[in-house]
Chains A and B, each alone.
Chain A
Amino acid sequence: KQEVTQIPAALSVPEGENLVLNCSFTDSAIYNLQWFRQDPGKGLTSLLLIQSSQREQTSGRLNASLDKSSGRSTLYIAASQPGDSATYLCAVRKAAGNKLTFGGGTRVLVKP
């Protein structure tokens, strides 16, 4: 059974510092991996989707890497801003058409 872990559960950084968020999964046979942002009381916003054949994806200040063999993905957020404060979730899909398995999330606070 696939298990997805995100450590740490919470993270606090000063504004301007780069953020590094970790996601690990137990079964390396994944189809793709998706990173989401969740603001308090709101839904999930998709940030990046990485296919299993890709090593990384970039969007603006966000960069996500994927190392299937070690069962890890890392989300980097450059030059963090207070507006980046949210919970970040990663989710993996084992096979085409299959469900997403979510990690528990990392709650990020960026202090002005």
Chain B
Amino acid sequence: AQTVTQSQPEMSVQEAETVTLSCTYDTSESDYYLFWYKQPPSRQMILVIRQEAYKQQNATENRFSVNFQKAAKSFSLKISDSQLGDAAMYFCAYRSAVTKAAGNKLTFGGGTRVLVKP
């Protein structure tokens, strides 16, 4: 079974600064997808960024970028130019690419709370 670990329960960042969230995962599969989700205090989970394991190029979405290290099974999220609206819980998630067997199941880490100081 796959596991996802987020070792930082909470991270604090000054507005306009950069913060990096860590995520490691354990899997025996070679093809899979990785995601970062944001859950603001209003609770609705929003997809921030995604990465396919077979792509070496790191994904980028505006101020959000990832550092995907497949051999190390590491998938960190960098938030640049942090804004007050970035304050939320951030979850790293794994999904197998073996669609029929695993369906759409997401395996989540325990989350990292991001605090943004004005």
A binds B: no
Seen from chain A, the residues whose Cβ lies within 8 Å of a Cβ on chain B are none
